[in-house]
Amino acid sequence: MAQSEQLLSLYKQMLIIRYTEEQLARSHQMGLIHGACHTYVGEEAIATGVCAHLRPDDAVFSTHRGHGHALAKGVSPREVVAELFGRATGCSQGRGGSMHLFKPEVGMMGTSGIVGPCILQAAGAGYSFKLLKTDQVGVAFFGDGAVNNGAFHEGLNLASIWKLPTLFICENNLYATEVPFSYSSGNPHVGNRGPAYGIESLTVDGNDVLAVYEAAEEAVQRARGGEGPTLIECRTYRTRAHAEGMRDAGYRTQEEVEEWKERDPITRYNEWLLENEEAGTETLAAIEAEVKEMVADAEEFGRNSPWPEPETVSEHVFNQR
């Protein structure tokens, strides 16, 4: 069980993700974001609960829906917002945008526009750490859309045979873009696929930050201790459209969306903190105010940041030593 300070830090982290993305959605409507913007609204508990156990030298590999992973791994809202605004101060200096957020200095090894490769790359980080005899771990975050891709099969098998220190975190939000997982998967469960590869696996409520936190704690300990990988299916839901500006209809009902909004991970956690007297309303309000200010500052920073210089466009195709 997390300590009080940690409990509040989980709350703050979820709010950083939520408020940053709500700001990104507004900025997208204003035309400040030039490309795609897939939000993580409703899924914040997962990145928060997992990354709470990671050190800056642990490596996270993420997906197209990766703002939450970047923020939870320690990329600042300023760097995320500036990157989506296409500015030189963004975490990828304007070369990436939403789907290519990188900050290896804090172990954020990239979000990706392709579904699946993060699973293999996280296994590769595990291979490095095993070879170099460190106790670091590699973590892949991916959606239900990735689990019927060959990368999942190959990556889990490789991690299993070499007992790699890797966590495979499946964020099952029930839809791959707009195709239901119930339609696209012969096996409707992800959390029971571990035995097929000889690895540990389980399913948790992905909208319960403490459930994720506890499952991840055990998996990280297992990985650091040389006991191999774990697959964790986190059942969750994205309450906004697949991407900002996209029509969000024709594949799910408004009733379903409303039902999941009732299970909002932040509201639930807020209530839990109050009920269990882990925090008072004033403390939580102070955290909310602090995060709002942080996000307003990030937006302003992004908007006022310089554009990248066109002369630099060919830099970094190759290593420049």
Rule CB under 8 A: say whether 117 interacts with other proteins. yes
Q: How far is the CB of 308 from other proteins (least distance, A)?
A: 9
Q: Within its chain, how far is the Cα of 320 from the centroid? A: 30
Q: 210, 205, 180: which is closest to 263 by C-alpha?
A: 205
Candidates 124, 194, 206, 302: give the one binding other proteins (CB under 8 A).
Answer: 124
Cβ closest to other proteins, residue 18 vs residue 100: 100
Q: How far is the CB of 318 from other proteins (least distance, A)?
A: 5
Residues 6+ positions from 245 with CB-CB distance below 8 Å: 28, 29, 37
Binders in 4-63 for other proteins, by CB under 8 A: 59, 61
Segment interacting with other proteins (CB under 8 A) among 43-51, 149-157, 173-181, 285-293: 149-157
Rule CB under 8 A: say whether 302 interacts with other proteins. no
Q: How far is the CB of 118 from other proteins (least distance, A)?
A: 9
Q: Kindly report the length of the chain.
A: 321
Q: 152, 146, 145, 204: which is closest to 174 by C-alpha?
A: 145
Rule CB under 8 A: say whether 95 interacts with other proteins. yes
Check if the beta carbon of residue 57 is closer than 8 Å to that of residue 280: no
Binders in 129-148 for other proteins, by CB under 8 A: 129-132, 136, 138
| Residue 157, Cβ density class (10 Å: 0-12 exposed, 13-18 middle, ≥19 buried) | middle
Query: Angle at Cα 117 formed by Cα 78 and Cα 224, nearest 5°?
Result: 80
Rule CB under 8 A: say whether 112 interacts with other proteins. yes
Q: How far is the CB of 32 from other proteins (least distance, A)?
A: 20
Cβ closest to other proteins, residue 145 vs residue 206: 145
Candidates 37, 147, 151, 170: give the one binding other proteins (CB under 8 A).
Answer: 151
Segment interacting with other proteins (CB under 8 A) among 47-55, 153-161, 205-213, 217-225: 153-161
Candidates 18, 65, 67, 103: give the one binding other proteins (CB under 8 A).
Answer: 103
List beta partners, residue 167. Answer: 139, 230
Report how many residues bind other proteins under the rule CB under 8 A.
50
Cβ closest to other proteins, residue 30 vs residue 131: 131
Rule CB under 8 A: say whether 155 interacts with other proteins. yes
Q: 164, 156, 168: which is closest to 130 by C-alpha?
A: 164
Cβ closest to other proteins, residue 18 vs residue 73: 73
Rule CB under 8 A: say whether 317 interacts with other proteins. yes
List beta partners, residue 141. Answer: 169
Rule CB under 8 A: say whether 120 interacts with other proteins. yes
Q: How far is the CB of 100 from other proteins (least distance, A)?
A: 4
| Residue 258, Cβ density class (10 Å: 0-12 exposed, 13-18 middle, ≥19 buried) | exposed
Three-state secondary structure string covering 38-74: CCCCCCHHHHHHHHCCCCCCCEEECCCCCHHHHHHHC
- DSSP, residue by residue, 90-159: STTTTSS-TT---BGGGTB----SSSSHHHHHHHHHHHHHHHTT----EEEEEEGGGTTSHHHHHHHHHH
Rule CB under 8 A: say whether 105 interacts with other proteins. yes
Cβ closest to other proteins, residue 39 vs residue 93: 93
- Residue numbers of the site for other proteins (CB under 8 A)? 59, 61, 92-96, 100, 102-105, 109-110, 112-114, 117, 119-132, 136, 138, 150-151, 153-155, 157-158, 161-162, 315-321
